[in-house]
Structure 1
């Protein structure tokens, strides 16, 4: 929610907390991936869920840094 509402500091903190949780051996969130109609859905296994979560954290880190950096 913080990322969607452009609350960059909070989004960064949440991404950092999730990454630390995962690095410490915590279980990843399990997203449901599906079509717009809802007809085709899947629940990724733990390995893919972990990869999605890590990639999401990295994306959020980069976007937060872009949004909060001062122009030169």
Structure 2
């Protein structure tokens, strides 16, 4: 165990240990396929969520209005 890892564990930073565990399989076979599988699940859930789509459309409209206002004030 490395000194920095030992230090993190001693101070109880579980989020760092979780991040290490999440990235430990990056080089393992099937990693890219698993990422794709999970991203398709999330994309399908997002596409089926009309409330999320409306929120994102409203946020985009708000940003677009702000950008146009900034451009006119220059």
**TM-score with structure 1 length normalisation?**
0.40
The structure with the greater share of residues assigned to strand is 1
Structure with larger RCO (C-alpha < 8 A, sep 6+): 1
TM (norm. structure 2) is: 0.39
More helix, by proportion: 2
Bigger Rg, structure 1 or 2: 2
